[in-house]
Amino acid sequence: MKLFTLLFLCIMCNLILTTSARLVSAEEKAFVPTGFQLYYGSDPKIMKQLKKRMHKGQIVVIELRGLDQKQIATLVNLANQAGAKVIGYISIGELEQLEKANFEQFLKQHNMPTSLEKISPGKNELFQSWHMDVSQEIWKKFLFKKIDQIYQQKIDGLFLDTVDTTDLYINHREWPITRRAKSLKAMISLIREIKALSPYKFIMQNRGLNLIGKSVFVGEETGILVPGLYLSKSHPHNPDGLLWESAYTHTGDWIDGKEREMIQIQKNGFTSVFTLGYTDTKADRRQFFQKSQAAGFIPAWGSSTKTLHKELTRGITTK
């Protein structure tokens, strides 16, 4: 009788543990984004505000470099308790000034007989950063080393910035069309490789709207079509989120077409569309939120792209 009771208890314990694991897994898969806030700084007062504003379904984008391990761990734990996710910033299409020395040291460590200038197709004078050719294997190795370091912080995912370097590839007339297409394909592959690296992490793509459709045209009067991310369709390694930064600022056939694509992407539900507007642009704040809500997008507002390290972005319910 005792043996039977013991066996029964063991079976019940295993059943409870298995059920709990399944519930946790199902909860992770069922995460539905409902908001987001973005902050690249480390000011204690602003970090306190960020923590207070966390809520279920929120994506919190942070820059890890200004925070220590304890601060990051506390932030991630609070987010998990609130039902939110914390994702870390990484620039995949540009090399920032702060990372220049690290990358040059990385080149030396790998005995690469080349220089940054030979890998970069140009400089971003506004942010004093270097556009990078993601078809270069050494750049990809550098990125995946950084991603590994970020994931060691138990972060919930990544915010992939500077994807719009692909605009430079498309219009880089010094390269033949086939060469431009090569780098464009490499960016699409890179995004999917990052997602495939850890499928349950939340991956958000910033900008790069040229990539979101079924195909991308590369050329002038004539050219070739490169398969795009096709975010309106299901793909296991497509990004979970797409940020339309400086949304509703510009007008014209191209951006109007992209807006229609993003509405369909949001409607189909495979990738969530987020919008970020700025006070120092032509966008009207009230119309920005109205249009975002009407399309089903997840909106936030900031003063300027240049002040994201000084203040929090604000959602529709914050001032």
pLDDT of residue 113: 74
Q: In 3D, which of 166, 167, 185 has the Cα closest to residue 226?
A: 185
Instruction: Report phi then psi at 179, rounded to 5.
Output: -70, -40
Burial 154-171 (b: 16+ CB within 10 A, else e): ebbbbbbbbbbbbbbbbe
Classify residue 100: in a domain, yes or no: yes
- Give per-residue pLDDT as tens, 139-188: 999 999 999 999 999 999 999 999 999 999 999 999 999 999 999 999 99
Classify residue 260: in a domain, yes or no: yes
With a cut of 80, say whether residue 265 has pLDDT above it: yes
Identify the domain containing residue 160 by its residue range: 88-307
CATH label of the domain that carries residue 303: 3.20.20.70
Q: In 3D, which of 152, 27, 40, 163 has the Cα closest to residue 98?
A: 40
Q: What span, in angstroms and rounded, lies between the C-alpha atoms of 141 and 132?
A: 13
Q: What is the mean pLDDT of the chain?
A: 91
Q: What is the pTM of this model?
A: 0.90
Banded pLDDT at 126 (limits 50, 70, 90): confident
Classify residue 65: in a domain, yes or no: no
Number of domains forming the structure of the chain? 1
Percent of the chain with pLDDT over 70: 90
Helix, strand, coil shares of the chain, percent, nearest 5, are 45, 20, 35
Classify residue 255: in a domain, yes or no: yes
What is the β-pairing status of strands 94-95 and 129-131?
A: antiparallel
Q: What span, in angstroms and rounded, lies between the C-alpha atoms of 59 and 38?
A: 8
